[in-house]
Amino acid sequence: KEKDTGKTCLMKALLKPGGNTEDIVILLLHYAEENGGLAELLNAVYTDECYRGQSALHIAIEKGLERIAQILVDKGADVHQRATGLFFQLKKAKEDGFYFGEYPLSLAACTNQPNLVRFLLEHKHNPCSPERQDSLGNTVLHALAIVADDDKESMKFVPEMYDLILIKSEERRMKVKQFSLVNLEKIHNKEGLTPLQLTAKEGKLQLFQRILVREFPREDPMYHLSRRFVEWTYGPICSSLYDLDEVDTTDPHSALKIVVYNTNQEKYSELLDVEPLKELLKIKWETFAAAMFGICTTFYLIYIILFTVITALQLHIDQEPGSEFGSSSNTWLTAGQIFIFIVAGCYLLKTGFDIISMWPIEYLSFFENNYFHVLFLLQTSLVMCSLFLYWDRVKEYVIMQALALVLGWFDLLYYSRGFKFTGIFTIIIQRIIVRDISRFICVYMVLILGFSTGKLTVALFSLTNKCPSESCPYESIGGALWELYKLSFDIGDMTGFENSTYPALFRILLIIYMLFIYVLLLNLLIALMGYTINAISEKNEKIWRMQRAITILDLERFLPKCCQHRCQKNKIYQCLDVGLNPGNKKDLRTCLW
Is residue 578 within 8 A of residue 457, CB to CB? The reply is no
pLDDT of residue 172: 83
Mean per-residue pLDDT of the chain: 79
Domain boundary among 519, 540, 561: 540
The answer to whether position 204 is within a domain reads no
Considering only residues 24 and 421, tell me which one the structure prediction assigns the higher pLDDT: 24
| Helix, coil or strand: residue 336 | helix
> What is d(CA 255, CA 281) in angstroms, rounded to the nearest whole number?
13
Residue 52 has pLDDT above 80, yes or no: yes
Asked if residue 17 belongs to a domain, the reply is no
Looking at this protein, which amino acid is placed at residue 444? Y
Q: What pLDDT is stored for residue 333 in this prediction?
A: 79
Nearest-5° Cα angle at 13, 10 to 15:
110
283 in the same domain as 396: yes
In a domain, 401, yes or no: yes
Query: How far out from the chain centre does Cα 31 lie?
Result: 55
| pLDDT over threshold 70, residue 413 | yes
The answer to whether residue 177 is domain-embedded is: no
Looking at the structure, tell me whether residues 284 and 362 fall in a common domain. Answer: yes
- Structure confidence at residue 485 as a pLDDT band (50, 70, 90): low
Q: Span 538-548, mean pLDDT? A: 77
Are residues 350 and 316 located together in one domain of the fold?
yes
pLDDT, position 455? 46
Q: Where are the alpha helices (DSSP H) in 213-330?
A: 255-260, 265-268, 277-284, 290-318
Q: Are residues 304 and 407 in the same domain?
A: yes
Of the candidates 575, 520, 590, 526, which has an alpha carbon nearest to the alpha carbon of residue 248? Answer: 590
Rounded CA-CA distance 111/113 in Å is 6
Question: What is the tally of structural domains in the chain?
Answer: 2
Q: Is residue 300 part of a domain?
A: yes
Worst-scoring range by mean pLDDT, 481-485, 512-516, 570-574?
A: 481-485
Q: Are residues 487 and 382 in the same domain?
A: no
Phi, psi (deg, nearest 5) at residue 239 = -115, 125
- pLDDT value of residue 263: 64
For the ranges 90-94, 415-419, 479-483, 569-573, the maximum mean pLDDT occurs at 415-419
pLDDT band at 141 (very low <50, low <70, confident <90, very high): very high
Is 489 in the same domain as 408?
A: no
Same domain (yes/no): 411, 325 = yes
The CB density around residue 6, as the number of other CB atoms within 10 Å, is 18
**pLDDT at position 371:** 73
How many whole angstroms separate alpha carbon 272 and alpha carbon 588? 26
474 pLDDT band, cuts 50/70/90, is low
Domain presence at residue 132: no
* C-alpha–C-alpha distance, residues 25 and 22, integer Å: 5
* % of the chain with per-residue pLDDT over 70: 81
286 with 393, same domain: the answer is: yes
Is residue 394 scored above 50 in pLDDT? yes
Phi, psi angle pair for 586, to nearest 5°:
-60, 135
How far apart are alpha carbons 260 and 547 in whole angstroms? Answer: 8
* Section 203-228 average pLDDT: 86
Among 416, 449, 469, the domain-final residue is 416
In a domain, 335, yes or no: yes
- Domain end marker among 493, 516, 540: 540
Please give the C-alpha separations between residue 226 and each of 207, 211, 262, 414, in angstroms, as whole numbers: 15, 9, 27, 40
Measured at the alpha carbon of residue 370, what is the angle toward residues 427 and 211, in degrees to the nearest 5?
A: 90
Convert the pLDDT of each residue in 339-350 to its tens digit.
Answer: 888 988 888 888
Residue ranges of alpha helices (H) inside 358-490 are 363-369, 371-391, 397-410, 420-431, 438-453, 455-463, 477-488
Could you tell me the residue range of the domain that residue 485 belongs to? 430-540
pLDDT of 153 > 80? The answer is no
Tell the burial category of 212 from Cβ atoms under 10 Å away from its Cβ (0-12, 13-18, 19+). Answer: buried
370 and 388 Cβ atoms separated by less than 8 Å: no
Q: Are strands 586-592 and 237-243 parallel, antiparallel or unpaired?
A: antiparallel
Determine the pLDDT at residue 458. 46
Sign of CA dihedral 519, 525, 528, 534: negative
Integer Cα distance of 287 and 229 in angstroms: 24
Q: With a cut of 60, say whether residue 501 has pLDDT above it.
A: no
- Is 159 part of a structural domain of the chain? no
Q: 75-79, 242-246, 571-575: which has the minimum mean pLDDT?
A: 571-575
The answer to whether the CB of 165 falls within 8 A of the CB of 121 is yes
Spatial separation of the C-alpha atoms in residues 549 and 551, rounded to whole Å: 5
Same domain flag for 367 and 492: no
Residues 324 and 284 in one domain: yes
Over 242-273, what HEC string results? EECCCCCCCCCCCHHHHHHCCCCHHHHHHHHH
Query: Average pLDDT, stretch 406-419?
Result: 83
CA pseudo-torsion sign 143, 144, 149, 154: positive
Same domain, 465 and 522: yes
Which is more confidently placed, 471 or 280? 280
291 and 395 share a domain? yes
Listed range (137-146, 165-174, 432-441) with the worst mean pLDDT: 432-441
The pTM of the whole model exceeds 0.95: no
pLDDT at 187 over 50: yes
Q: Which residues contact 339 (CB under 8 A, 6 or more apart)?
A: 306
Assess whether pLDDT exceeds 80 at residue 205.
Answer: yes
Sign of CA dihedral 123, 145, 111, 162: positive
CB 191, CB 135: distance < 8 Å: no
